[in-house]
């Protein structure tokens, strides 16, 4: 215990620690032998005492109002932001897995390479997800009733997840697969009329999206590896832009985009712009400045490919806002029902 006083007030620091007695029933041997200071300078109990005695305090001024209400508001909004981050992160990972599985089911080459998948899962998606937590605190969070812990998977929960999360990412998977097929078909047609640097045989006919179906390694794409890598790089660019577009509906979960703009969440705004800038710089650098001579790159594809990609972004944005609007309406109905249930129970238990 320590005390220091001056002419205005006194400060007192007081702490009390009690070491619990270990449960010992019908035992003659001690559960734990205290080690000697030479063999072990500190015991587990001693380490626990040191850790538990670290200073942890909350300073409150007497003339200031007690900020418990604001602390609860900050805590609730922080937990809501973390839950929002986890939902977006999980949805992106699931959609990425289904996208690769869909390509396998349609007998296509991998849409993304291993390095590109690692880039998405370790850099792009985590940065976007964590930046969603950086928004300003919404005072309306204190007007919302807390929900119950969902410990089991029910049909209602499954319907909610499939409808409000599946519809947000399903158009992305469909559009990316169609763009991949379209790009490979165009690249195959260009290869058909030219000769690759590593091949002396001209491709006469393409089957599906494969330049040489008689080959066992990706239907002949192993001979034109720079071309398929270029197409995968284009798919990565548009997939990153689609993820950024979807994340717009996760910035403010209780407001539509035109009712509360994203510039209020400055960490998310800077992160999304940085990711798009880095991805575009990487793609343009490798496709226009580091491209192999006489190679079929995405710069030789039809301009219609890029138009389809940007139209897909607009359609995904519209679908996400419609689903977001439906989600907000459902949450409002749930909050009204929760308030009604609380008011009914309060009236039933009232003594008057």
Q: Could you report the per-residue pLDDT of 68-104, keeping only the tens digit for each? A: 777 777 878 888 888 889 989 999 999 999 999 998 8
- Number of structural domains (the chain) is 1
CB 238 within 8 A of CB 228: no
- Residues of the chain with pLDDT > 70, as a percent, come to 64
40 within domain boundaries = no
Higher per-residue pLDDT: 196 or 169: 169
Which residues are within 8 A (CB) of 184 and not within 5 positions of it... i.e. 6 or more apart?
108, 109, 209, 228, 231
Q: Which residues contact 250 (CB under 8 A, 6 or more apart)?
A: 84, 87, 88, 132
Q: Are 194 and 296 within 8 A, CB to CB?
A: yes
Per residue in 199-248, pLDDT tens?
544 555 666 777 666 665 666 666 777 788 888 899 999 999 999 999 99
Alpha helices in the chain (DSSP H): 44-52, 68-105, 114-119, 125-131, 155-161, 167-192, 225-251, 266-284, 303-348
**Residue 12 pLDDT:** 45
Q: Is residue 6 part of a domain?
A: no
The verdict on residue 18 lying in a domain is no
Q: pLDDT averaged over the chain?
A: 76
Tell me, yes or no, whether 61 lies in a domain: no
> Does residue 127 fall inside a structural domain?
yes
Question: Is residue 133 in a domain?
Answer: yes
Contact 103, 225 (CB under 8 A): no
Backbone angles phi, psi at 210, to 5 degrees: -105, 130
The answer to the question of residue 4 being in a domain is no
State yes or no: pLDDT of 126 exceeds 90. yes
pLDDT digits (tens, 9 = 90+) for 327-352: 888 877 777 777 776 666 555 555 54
For residue 10, what pLDDT band results from cuts at 50, 70 and 90? very low
The CATH number of whichever domain residue 228 belongs to comes to: 1.20.1110.10
Sign of CA dihedral 172, 178, 184, 187: negative
Q: How far is CA 193 from the centre of its chain?
A: 43
Give the range of the structural domain holding residue 80, as residue numbers without chain letter.
Answer: 68-143+154-197+204-342
Distances (CA, A) of 253 to 157, 283, 315, 325, 326: 18, 32, 20, 10, 11
Give the burial class of 144: count Cβ atoms within 10 A of its Cβ; 0-12 exposed, 13-18 middle, 19 or more buried. middle
Is 245 inside a domain boundary?
yes
């Amino acid at each position: 215990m320590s005390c220091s006083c001056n002419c205005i007030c006194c400060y007192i620091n007081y702490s009390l620690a009690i070491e619990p007695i270990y449960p010992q029933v019908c035992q003659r041997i001690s559960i734990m032998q205290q080690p000697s200071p030479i063999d072990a300078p500190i015991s587990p109990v001693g380490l626990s005492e040191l850790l538990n005695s670290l200073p942890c305090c909350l300073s409150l001024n007497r003339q200031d109002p007690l900020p418990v209400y604001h602390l609860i508001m900050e805590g609730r909004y922080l937990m809501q932001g973390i839950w929002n981050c986890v939902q977006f992160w999980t949805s992106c990972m699931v959609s990425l897995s289904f996208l690769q599985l869909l390509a396998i089911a349609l007998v296509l080459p991998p849409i993304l390479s291993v390095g590109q998948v690692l880039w998405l899962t370790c850099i792009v998606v985590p940065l976007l997800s964590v930046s969603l937590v950086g928004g300003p605190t919404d005072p309306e969070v204190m007007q919302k009733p807390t929900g119950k812990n969902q410990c089991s998977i029910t049909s209602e929960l499954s319907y909610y997840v499939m409808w409000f999360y599946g519809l947000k990412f399903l158009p992305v998977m469909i559009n990316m697969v169609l763009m991949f097929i379209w790009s490979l078909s165009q690249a195959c047609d260009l290869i058909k009329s030219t000769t690759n640097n590593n091949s002396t045989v001209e491709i006469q006919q393409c089957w599906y999206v494969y330049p040489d179906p008689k080959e066992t390694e990706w239907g002949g794409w192993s001979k034109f590896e720079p071309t398929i890598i270029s197409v995968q790089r284009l798919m990565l660019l548009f997939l990153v832009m689609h993820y950024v577009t979807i994340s717009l509906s996760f910035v403010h979960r209780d407001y539509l985009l035109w009712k509360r703009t994203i510039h209020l969440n400055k960490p998310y705004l800077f992160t999304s712009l940085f990711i798009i800038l880095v991805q575009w710089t990487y793609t343009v650098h490798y496709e226009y400045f580091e491209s192999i001579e006489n190679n079929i790159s995405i710069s030789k594809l039809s301009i219609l490919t890029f138009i389809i990609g940007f139209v897909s972004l607009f359609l995904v944005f519209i679908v996400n806002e419609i689903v977001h609007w439906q989600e907000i309406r459902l949450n409002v109905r749930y909050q009204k029902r929760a308030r009604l249930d609380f008011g009914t129970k309060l009236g039933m238990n009232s003594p008057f």
